[in-house]
Structure 1
Amino acid sequence: MPGKLNAVLVALCLLGSAPAPAQTASAEPVYSAAAMQQDFRFMRAEIDRIHPEPGLFTSREALRKAYDQVEAQLRQPLTRDQAWRALATLNPVFADGHMSVVFPDLQALTRAHLAAGGLLFPYEVEVSADGEIAIRSDIDGSASALAGMRIEQINGMPAARVARELLARAQGDTPALRAHVLSRHMWFEYWHMFGAPRQFDLVVAKPAGPAHLRVAGSGKIPAVLDTEGPSGFKKIFQFALLPGNAALLTINHFLWPDQQAYNAFIRDAFAKIRDAKVSTLIIDVRQNPGGDDGMWKELLSYLADKPFRNGSSYVKKVIAGRASGSEKVGDVVHGFGDTWCEPGLNNPLHYSGKTYVLVGRMTYSSAVLFSNVVQDFGFAQLVGAGGYARTRQTGGVQNIILPNTGLQMVIPRFVLDRPSGERDPALVHPDILLPDSPFDRMVTVDALLEHLRRTREPSA
């Protein structure tokens, strides 16, 4: 099962003792060049231990050159932020959302920073792959009068340069996906790249011309982190009836600590679908970065009309704890998945109407497996602006803590092909291509309903 991005799945017992970091006057740890080199050697050894083919989505030569460039930056004492700035330049080279150097537990670090009186960049933004930054909302998700406006400068630095520096350290399969990953929490990367000032001097592009603004840093909990408890559940899982016997089921994550609460939500949604005689069901996973395969399989039990599986051929690295009589630790094993799931055809809430799955932006990991399955087995048509993620997904993510800096290396141990076995197109490809606005999620929903209305009308 591909794990959610940056989830802590495995704790590593470190081998040997780490050199004690020196301290600056501000008490920010500074790690010696020897400590940095030790972390780097450890990271490379762990990649070779876990990943079945480290250069899979780039090339071994490109990876070697990137390693050399990073190693040259680690020959001096560095703080943890400085170490991340160097090591994270590998992330775009890996070109895999499941393989990256990141800070462990983004949520805990952010909450501790705010609790200590720290502030953050005050807006949620949309970053494009070509370096534009536009404001979506205030950092807590509340409406902003600046929504939709493009930022031209941040604290005297051109916004394009800010974006370029951060995108050079973002993880993801493609430049477009890396831009979307960065967009989810640019405030975090900005903090660790440029610091966390008390105020921000901005230049934004207004219709009347550039406007200079001075805004305070924010001490609010970012919207992307405010997803716990009943209010968090309602942000992640939503259901609404739409005009024309249609319904919209939004699932922003295939992960929730209480599986029974999720199951009850899905059951209740399909009861409403039955009672309202819904004939068009739209499932929105555009903001879904993955999670637990069992959650989308639960959803498919209400939709599938034939047995299905989540993939076909695979390649995996056998690691400690995963060995068997025929598979030794260190082996690279090629195989073919033969585990099938049965549909819930006897379920009185089973739905047999038309189904459309909205994909794009942050559809990743288990959400990509879900989209592969519904497309390959004909359970639904995919709808969206185009593919950002590969259909061939890595998984079995291992989270390894570097012994000195405490940064986290995320490494997958297998690669899974889609159920059909096809590798072309390489990226998730919608059956129905429609525009997708980062500022209004209903744009695509409305466009789909209009598209369906037009295609159902008799031609003149």
Structure 2
Amino acid sequence: MKIPHLLLALAGATALYGATAHAETVRFTPAQLQQDLQFVRHAIENTHPEPALRSGRQAYEQAFAAAQERLRQPLSRDEAWRAMAAMNPVFNDAHLGVILPDWRGEARAHLAAGGKLFPFEVSIDRQGRLVIVAALGGGASTQAGREVESIDGVPTARVLAELGALVHGDTPVFRNKLLERRFWLYYWKTYGAKDSFTLGVGGKPLAVAAATATPAVMAGDISFDETFQFRMLPGGAGLLTVNAFSWPDKQQFYAFTERAFTTLRDAGARTLLIDIRENGGGDDDMWKTGILRYIADKPFRNGSSYVKKVLEGRAGPGEKVGDVVHGNVDSWVQPEPGHPLHFGGKVFVLVGDMTYSSAVLFSNTVQDHGFAKLVGAGGYAYVRQTGGTQKEHVLPNTKLGVVVPRFVLDRPSGRREPALLQPDVVLADDPFDRSALVNALLKQLAAPGR
């Protein structure tokens, strides 16, 4: 007898919820927790070529010493995660951190079993204010645009400080942007599930029921057409949106960009905007083949000097496992200026708070080689990027995870200042209107003298 897929899914979710709920009744012994912490340290130091790269050795050692103290008493899995995740901000790297390996699965199981979550999608602005964007899941809310001043009597500033102390990421503003997308998760995992909330909004209490909706960041499989888009804008500019540099069928992506550049040629366009504000990275070959082959007019490379840790199965000639190797990127890609779809107009790359990993390498490459100008708000991510993250290491007792990169890459020019991604044209994003930045740039370009 065949069991309907929905029933199978619910059975799996219920089993996961049961396992998770059971894990929260289990108290891991201090010896188990200390073993897990040592596992984290060994995973980092056996994989990362410069473990204290962003923290400095003293802060790195202090982070582990503090975690060791927090783990001297029996703790549940979530408590253990909070104790070790407190090291994440010290690492200052979105490729390095102690994580909940299957937080999406845990959240789905929680909801399937009747659990509830914080009821709003939110943003955290540069002033550290928590602002309601929409109902959880992205639905419209009459409270959109309003600041949340307190949650159940606790000042929001305190809540954000406590939750932000668990988030991994390059900088405080980067970590805030990650936190705002998963605010409901960090709140749940820190303060527990609730049926309702009393929010301070406009100086008055606002009673709100907790939500059973699926958070926006956990929306089902994102389609190709949602990830990659192209359209001609009024005035003749093209807008190419690339929300990832990864896709199972790369040829589908290459065919898509070929069609986009065909449209640009046929329309006689002289301006192209490439939007990677939501692009968290992927494979460099997707932007080398799918984009730069059409806009590059000189040889290019994606970096200059590098340092890497040699791992099992990745040793090159003369290398052995465990070596820390320093080298230079000598593989230059030749341009194709004679390509029938070569675009010789002005190119602007839109960057934002979720531009990361390979998307930062793309930004470095077009900026250093003069292929495009970067537009947006900077200061989120380091231009000297780590990379080559391995499948997360699973801690032996708590089954939490730790992700670690294996190399560090300098930008093509070799410059290390400014340390953070800095656009050529600084324009702020509007969390309520993603088209606002595009319109602001087009307005600038249309101004007399431009």
* Shared fold per TM-score greater than 0.5: yes
- Asked if residue 441 in structure 1 is aligned to residue 434 in structure 2, the reply is yes
Kept in 2: contact 1:101–1:409 (CA 8 A): yes
Q: 1:278 to 1:28 in 2, by over 3 A?
A: farther
C-alpha separation between the residues in 2 aligned to 1:23 and 1:241? 48
In the TM superposition, 1:66-85 aligns within 5 A as: 66-85=63-82
- Asked if residue 416 in structure 1 is aligned to residue 413 in structure 2, the reply is no
Equivalent position amino acid for 2:129 in 1: E
CA deviation after TM superposition for structure 1 residue 322, in Å: 1.4
The aligned counterpart of 2:99 is 102
> Which stretch of structure 1 is more off in the superposition, 239-248 or 330-339?
239-248
C-alpha separation between the residues in 1 aligned to 2:21 and 2:304? 53
In the TM superposition, 1:196-235 aligns within 5 A as: 196-205=193-202, 210-228=203-221, 232-235=223-226
1:179-238: CA deviations, max 9, x gaps? 111112111111111112122221223xxxx34222222222222222515xx3333222
* Unaligned stretches of 5+ residues in structure 2: 1-18
Q: 1:358 aligns with which of 344, 350, 354?
A: 350
Q: What SS does the aligned partner of 2:294 have? A: coil
- Asked if residue 262 in structure 1 is aligned to residue 253 in structure 2, the reply is yes
1:34-74: CA deviations, max 9, x gaps? 11011001111111111111111111111111111111010
CA deviation after TM superposition for structure 1 residue 99, in Å: 0.7
Equivalent position amino acid for 1:88 in 2: A
Q: What SS does the aligned partner of 2:46 have? A: helix
In the TM superposition, 1:132-281 aligns within 5 A as: 132-205=129-202, 210-228=203-221, 232-281=223-272
Kept in 2: contact 1:119–1:217 (CA 8 A): yes
Kept in 2: contact 1:308–1:341 (CA 8 A): yes
Q: TM-score, normalised by structure 2?
A: 0.91
CA deviation after TM superposition for structure 1 residue 427, in Å: 0.8
- Asked if residue 294 in structure 1 is aligned to residue 282 in structure 2, the reply is no
C-alpha separation between the residues in 2 aligned to 1:256 and 1:111? 24
1:325-380: CA deviations, max 9, x gaps? 41111111100011122334344322221110111211110110000000011110
The aligned counterpart of 1:397 is 389
The aligned counterpart of 1:19 is none
Kept in 1: contact 2:133–2:432 (CA 8 A): yes
The aligned counterpart of 1:5 is none
1:125-172: CA deviations, max 9, x gaps? 112465321111222223322222110112222111111111111111
Kept in 1: contact 2:20–2:106 (CA 8 A): no
- Which structure carries more helix by proportion? 2
In the TM superposition, 1:37-56 aligns within 5 A as: 37-56=34-53
Q: 1:235 to 1:217 in 2, by over 3 A?
A: farther
Number of residue equivalences? 430
C-alpha separation between the residues in 2 aligned to 1:405 and 1:130? 36
Kept in 2: contact 1:51–1:412 (CA 8 A): yes
* Unaligned stretches of 5+ residues in structure 1: 1-21
How well do the aligned residues superpose, as a CA RMSD in angstroms? 2.0
Q: 1:336 aligns with which of 314, 322, 328?
A: 328
Deviating 4+ runs (over 6 angstroms): 22-27
C-alpha separation between the residues in 2 aligned to 1:77 and 1:367? 42
CA deviation after TM superposition for structure 1 residue 23, in Å: 11
CA deviation after TM superposition for structure 1 residue 29, in Å: 2.7
C-alpha separation between the residues in 2 aligned to 1:334 and 1:455? 49
C-alpha separation between the residues in 2 aligned to 1:299 and 1:23? 44
> Which stretch of structure 1 is more off in the superposition, 432-441 or 340-349?
340-349
The aligned counterpart of 2:318 is 326
C-alpha separation between the residues in 2 aligned to 1:286 and 1:156? 35
Kept in 2: contact 1:320–1:329 (CA 8 A): yes
CA deviation after TM superposition for structure 1 residue 319, in Å: 1.5
The aligned counterpart of 1:305 is 297
Equivalent position amino acid for 1:285 in 2: I
> Which stretch of structure 1 is more off in the superposition, 338-347 or 349-358?
338-347
Kept in 2: contact 1:24–1:30 (CA 8 A): no
Q: TM-score, normalised by structure 1?
A: 0.89
Kept in 1: contact 2:238–2:271 (CA 8 A): yes
Kept in 2: contact 1:360–1:387 (CA 8 A): no
Kept in 1: contact 2:134–2:144 (CA 8 A): yes
C-alpha separation between the residues in 2 aligned to 1:347 and 1:142? 45
> Which stretch of structure 1 is more off in the superposition, 116-125 or 331-340?
116-125
C-alpha separation between the residues in 2 aligned to 1:269 and 1:115? 41
